[in-house]
Chain A
């Protein structure tokens, strides 16, 4: 059974803190994605990665960075958390070919106070 896991379900951080969100997939997928989900705005792509050490900006990369040192792990980093980064963060993965479905993790609800 395919599985995408995220390091935390709920996280509370203070403004200015550095925040790490971890995502691990066990399907040997090449592609990994980070989204944020906000009411009324749907899922918005932050960053994605096609391969180890490769990354591409999505639609809303400002204030975020990513790291992919191993194929199965994709990390999202908030260098200095701000209150407008309070959101649900979803990680997903897919295989190459470009037409395969993305598998999602359970999400991390981040609150920045």
Chain B
């Protein structure tokens, strides 16, 4: 099977600083990785994804890094803003598992003004 864990349940950063949220997975057959953001009272929203044939992918102010050797995934948020305060989940899927995702427990990011 697959298990997904996050290194920190909470993270507090100063506005304007960069944030790094980490995630570890167990199954080397995992081939698709997603980061979701969940604001209070809302469902998770897709932020960025990466496939196993890539090491890095960038979006607007966000970068996902994948290290398959140590089965580690990270989300970097540049110039963190108060609107980034939320719970961030990583999710992992394995090819031919019908699109099922295994979720980590989430890191709550707090941005101090």
Chain A residues near B (Cβ < 8 Å): 4, 31, 33, 40-43, 45, 48, 50, 56, 58, 90, 92, 94, 96-107
Contact = CB atoms under 8 A, between A and B. Distances in A.
Nearest to B101: A102
B47 to A, nearest CB: 10
Q: How many of chain B's residues touch chain A, expressed as a range?
A: 20 to 34
Contact of A45 (B32, B95, B100, B105): B100
Interface stretch (B38-46, B57-65, B66-74): B38-46
A31 B101 CA distance: 12
B93 A98 contact: yes
B45 A99 contact: no
A103 to B, nearest CB: 7
B51 A98 contact: no
Interface in B1-56: 31-32, 34, 36, 41-46, 49, 51
B36 to A, nearest CB: 8
Contacts of A56: 98
Contact of A103 (B32, B46, B105): B46
Contacts of A94: 99
A50 to B, nearest CB: 6
